[in-house]
Amino acid sequence: MDLNQLRENTHELRRLLGTKVLGQPQVIDLVVMTVLCGGHALLTGAPGVAKTTLVRSLAQALGCGYKRIQFTPDLTPYDILGGDTIQFDEKNPDLKRIAFVPGPIFAPFILADEINRASPRTQSALLEAMQERQVSLNGQSRALPRPFYVFATQNPIENEGTFPLPEAQLDRFLVNIDVGYPNFETEVQVATLSSLDKELAPLPGSALVVNARQAIEQFPMPQALIEACVRLVRNTRPSESSLGIVKNFVDYGASPRASQSLVLSAKAIAFMCNANQVGWEHVQMVAAAVLQHRLVLNFRAATERVSSLEVCKMLVAESIL
């Protein structure tokens, strides 16, 4: 793979997304990093901060199919995965056959909008799809398109009528990206912008971007830094950590999958920053996004209103190479 061309395409993708989602360069970088890593992302933010626009624009820029699934309490796994249905012959109504009708999950880009509004049974329908890139129905496995990305949104403000995502599913998201409000100047631009509904033209060479994972995995990273990433992840586990912030507020820490995600994300962000190899500063840039959704906080954290993001930031600040 031509790394110089990949880097140019990545920069152009970031620029294109910046024309649709204003004032969110860090969010855009994390989303593009997710694509380079071939992973999935959870977008957390209040309504109206362009989460849906960002994912739709990303799919347009990469020339990939896009499906939006609105998660509601009455949504069923069938509504997502599809299933066998009886179909009648138009010419001969007496003839009928059972045929598989694919659901919206069979698309390269999936936006699972307000994913925490669906029941746990429906949420779990995404588990195999996110990990194995396939779905199993009636004893038969069906491959999903390649590439395949799930971007899920959730509103952190409302709790009524929502179902927290299970830890097993949260662990399958590469990162949890916090999408905040834009600053005043940016919001003035947004208020007067008239081109937000215009579709983006597909990026030339987008295939390099969606097939970049192998190149990202081979990006140089010192062994000492890989070990530092593993120590950082292990420090999130109360049984192994010596840090008071973890012992006081965390019930369960991150799994070994988090170590893999942290190393891969650091490589991708270093590549995007035009670095020759990964440095500790690149790990710091992605650590909170990779770890915050993988921590299970205890009751004390809830009573003292300590968030997993705050724990992660303090954890990274206290960690050393």
pLDDT tens figures, 69-115: 999 989 999 999 998 888 777 777 677 777 888 999 999 999 999 99
Nearest to 30 by CA among 293, 237, 214: 293
pLDDT surpassing 80 at residue 156: no
Q: What is residue 197's predicted lDDT score, i.e. its pLDDT? A: 64
CB 197 within 8 Å of CB 57: no
Res. 165 pLDDT band, cuts 50 70 90 = confident
Torsion of CA 71, 77, 81, 84, to 10 degrees: -140
| DSSP for residue 251 | E
| Same domain as 37, residue 122 | yes
Residues whose CB is less than 8 angstroms from the CB of residue 122 and which lie 6 or more positions away in sequence, other chains included: 71, 75, 76, 77, 79, 80
33 lies in some domain: yes
| Same domain as 86, residue 133 | yes
165 lies in some domain: yes
**Mean pLDDT of the region 236-261:** 92
Count how many residues are written for the chain. 321
Measured CA to CA, the distance from residue 126 to residue 145 in angstroms comes to 14
Could you tell me the CATH number of the domain that includes residue 227?
Answer: 1.10.8.80
Q: Which of 176, 211, 246 is the last residue of a domain?
A: 211
- Listed ranges 122-126, 154-158, 224-228; the one with the highest mean pLDDT: 224-228
Torsion of CA 312, 309, 52, 170, to 10 degrees: 70
Q: Which of 178, 211, 244 is the last residue of a domain?
A: 211
Q: What pTM did the predictor assign?
A: 0.91
Q: What is residue 214's predicted lDDT score, i.e. its pLDDT? A: 92
| Same domain as 260, residue 123 | no
200 lies in some domain: no
173 lies in some domain: yes
Rounded to whole angstroms, what are the CA distances from 247 to 3, 18, 241, 244, 251?
43, 40, 7, 5, 8
| DSSP for residue 283 | H
Q: What is residue 68's predicted lDDT score, i.e. its pLDDT? A: 94
| Same domain as 157, residue 49 | yes
| Same domain as 158, residue 55 | yes
pLDDT, tens only, 190-217: 888 765 567 888 888 888 899 999 999 9
Measured CA to CA, the distance from residue 186 to residue 208 in angstroms comes to 31
**Mean pLDDT of the region 29-55:** 93
**Mean pLDDT of the region 247-257:** 93
pLDDT, tens only, 106-140: 999 999 999 989 888 888 888 889 999 999 887 88
| Same domain as 242, residue 311 | yes
| Same domain as 103, residue 140 | yes
**Mean pLDDT of the region 151-159:** 81
Q: Is 156 or 184 the better-scoring residue by pLDDT?
A: 184
| Same domain as 237, residue 173 | no
Longest dimension (CA), the chain: 73
Rounded to whole angstroms, what are the CA distances from 68 to 27, 65, 111, 151, 303?
20, 10, 5, 10, 36
22 lies in some domain: yes
197 lies in some domain: no
| Same domain as 25, residue 106 | yes
308 lies in some domain: yes
Backbone angles phi, psi at 77, to 5 degrees: -55, -35
Q: Which of 181, 211, 241 is the last residue of a domain?
A: 211
Domain count, the chain: 2
| Same domain as 240, residue 186 | no
Domain limits at 40?
Answer: 1-191+205-211
| Same domain as 244, residue 123 | no
Residues whose CB is less than 8 angstroms from the CB of residue 310 and which lie 6 or more positions away in sequence, other chains included: none
Q: What is residue 321's predicted lDDT score, i.e. its pLDDT? A: 58
| Same domain as 68, residue 176 | yes
Q: What is residue 224's predicted lDDT score, i.e. its pLDDT? A: 95
Could you tell me the CATH number of the domain that includes residue 111?
Answer: 3.40.50.300
187 lies in some domain: yes
User: What's the mean per-residue pLDDT of the chain?
Assistant: 90
Residues whose CB is less than 8 angstroms from the CB of residue 192 and which lie 6 or more positions away in sequence, other chains included: none
